[in-house]
Structure 1
Amino acid sequence: MTATRLAAAGRLLAVTALTAAALACPAPAARAAEGGLLRLAHLSPDTPAVDVYVDPVAAPGDERVVPAVAYGTVSDYQDVPPGSYAVSVRPVGADPATPPVLSATVQVDADSARTVAGVGTFADLGLEVLDDDLTPPAAGSARLRVVAAAAGAPTLDVAVPGGPVLATGLAFTDTSAYLDVPAGATALTVTPAGGPATELPVELTAGSIHSVLVLDRPGGGLAVRTVLDAAGPGVVPAGGVEAGAGGTADDGLPLPAVAGAVLVWAATRTGAGRRRHGARPGPR
């Protein structure tokens, strides 16, 4: 056999071996679908603390529980598989098998973020699903939105002094759209209808995303806080409240809200059957 024929035969054997190896090895499995983010918030001023249950509709009874959620609390985000989730609210310490006070279903899509919030006064309590926009803001900017959770402010205006207006005439229980603002040291001016303005110094890191909570302060007045939604692209915090009205977090609200609600979602199996709406917990 000539050298040319030997080389050709070698190439043929090599191609045959590579083809056989490719057929013998299965194709890599498709990447698992990305999960979504879900968190909880208690934004009803006169409703007492509650236990909140999150139950995947596709696997009833496989619940996660956030206990004793008090007014002003925003829980950590939790990674959850895409799908529908039943969110149920019960008085603190109630038997998980009892009918919930309130319930709602939230759809969590891949790469989405949702906040399920108890809103309104006790007499008109409801659950609202907020879409959280965690896409990166423009270069050199941070992103803010305002959540009106103070019954003492039927409407309010929020602005950055000398900068953009975040909300005008925002009604109690409403949430403004997100807006990009210049990063750096600045302030937020919150003015309720017919009331004095409250100024909150804030330090906004470029790329960060925040929700500005306007809350009722015990004894009267407003407490204004920023909650970090994301520290940067793909960086979701483990909860955290940065500051309260006047630049401090000591505004008399319950400790879970001040400390940023470092809450553990404990996986439990309750075997609860079909749920019905029941009586609300007693007002504060």
Structure 2
Amino acid sequence: MKNFKNTSKRLVAGLFAVCLLSLTLSSCLKDHSTVPATPVALLSVIQDSPGQTPLDFTLDGMRVNANQIVYGGGLDYFRAYVGNRTAAFTRSGTGSTIFSDTLTLKQNFAYTLCLVGKSATPGFLVLTDAITQPASGSANLRFVNLSPDAPAVDLAVKDGAVLVANKGFKGFSNFSPIVGKTYTFEIRQAGTNTVLTTLTNVSINSGYVYTIYLRGLAGATDATKLTADLITNAYPSLN
């Protein structure tokens, strides 16, 4: 089986994919030291709380981001020590905490931490990214609803099948197989044909693992309007 690599790339918001770690958290990074490896997990971060000013992300009080995290942005997977860690979002320039909570990270697990909710009532959604090698000719796809005020929604292929049904705020699916090709995805009000937003002409590549996120506010017409983003969680190595 091909070596399988983790990455996180927000195609719409402009995060850049980098090869960080394999699923064993070892093959992509070269460690030339003789010090025994410290147990780590993988953690990525997404800021999908509409209306927030630019933020910083900290673990146990240590800032992780080099650049401010804006709405719709985040951090690619990075290694984090396992155990109970205090995660916080703070306002860039002031250091005031907008939300903080304890994460429990397990060795060799991958997680995505999402800042969600309206700006006055932010909170966390922590996803365990159970990433496995897709079957030949297929990709794996997950859907997550991070819109705090949209109705429950379905993820569907335009003029095709419903892939994920009836997910309310903070609802999410498992990673499921999907044939690798170009799609137009629709986010519909659950159980109806009412389209709330779309992802048009999206290339789904065989061997990759993806997540589609719904973010934004149902009644907004500005930058916080309902939007669907596609993130690449993992891709096959060329080695």
TM-score by length of 1: 0.61
Q: Specify every segment of 5 or more residues in structure 2 that has no aligned partner in the other structure, as ranges.
A: 1-33
Change in CA separation of 1:175 and 1:80 when aligned onto 2, cut-off 3 Å = same
Superposed CA offset, 1:26-73 (max 9, x none): xxx997366321111111123333221112xxxxx5x23325322211
SS in 2 for 1:225: strand
Q: Distance in 1 between matches of 2:161 and 2:134?
A: 15
Q: CA deviation at 1:233?
A: 6.3
* Preserved contact between residue 120 and residue 173 of structure 1 (Cα < 8 Å): no
Which stretch of structure 1 is more off in the superposition, 191-200 or 45-54? Answer: 191-200
| Greater fraction of residues in helix | 1
Tell me if structure 2 keeps the 8 A contact 1:135–1:233. no
Pair 1:167-2:169 in alignment: no
Quick one: distance in 2 between partners of 1:199 and 1:32?
41
Contact 1:137 1:180 in 2 (8 A): yes
> Among residues 139, 163, 167, which one is paired with 1:142 in the alignment?
139
The answer to whether the Cα contact below 8 Å between 1:149 and 1:216 also exists between their aligned partners in 2 is yes
1:102 deviates by 1.5
* 1:65 maps onto 2:64 in alignment: yes
Q: CA deviation at 1:222?
A: 2.8
Q: Distance in 2 between matches of 1:204 and 1:168?
A: 20
Is the 1:45–1:149 Cα contact (8 Å) retained in structure 2? no
Counterpart-to-counterpart distance in 1, 2:136 and 2:72? 31
Q: Which residue of 1 aligns with 2:51?
A: 46
Q: Which residue of 1 is the match for residue 113 of structure 2?
A: 116
Alignment of structure 1 residues 258-269 onto 2, 5 Å:
none
> In structure 1, what residue type is equivalent to 2:165?
T
SS of the residue aligned with 2:120? Answer: helix
Query: Residue 5 of structure 2 corresponds to which residue in structure 1?
Result: none
Query: Residue 116 of structure 2 contacts residue 148 of structure 2 at CA under 8 Å; is this kept in 1?
Result: no
Larger Rg: 1
Match of 1:189 among 160, 173, 186: 186
Deviation at 1:114, TM superposition (A): 0.7
1:223 correspondence with 2:227: yes
Maintained 8 Å contact 2:43/2:80: yes
Report the AA paired with residue 108 of structure 1.
Answer: L
* 8 A contact 1:145–1:166 mirrored in 2: no
Matched with 1:211 is 211
**Residue type at the aligned position of 1:65:** V
Indicate the percent of aligned positions where both proteins have the same amino acid: 26
Deviation per CA, 1:189-248, whole angstroms, max 9, x where unpaired?
22135743535221111111111022237626532221111112699xxxxxxxxxxxxx
**Two-structure CA RMSD over aligned residues (Å):** 2.9
Q: Distance in 1 between matches of 2:156 and 2:237?
A: 25
- State the distance in 2 between where 1:146 and 1:199 align: 13
Could you report, residue by residue, the CA deviation over 1:123-151 in whole angstroms, capped at 9, with x for unpaired residues?
33211211112211222211111121234
Q: Secondary structure of 1:46's partner?
A: coil
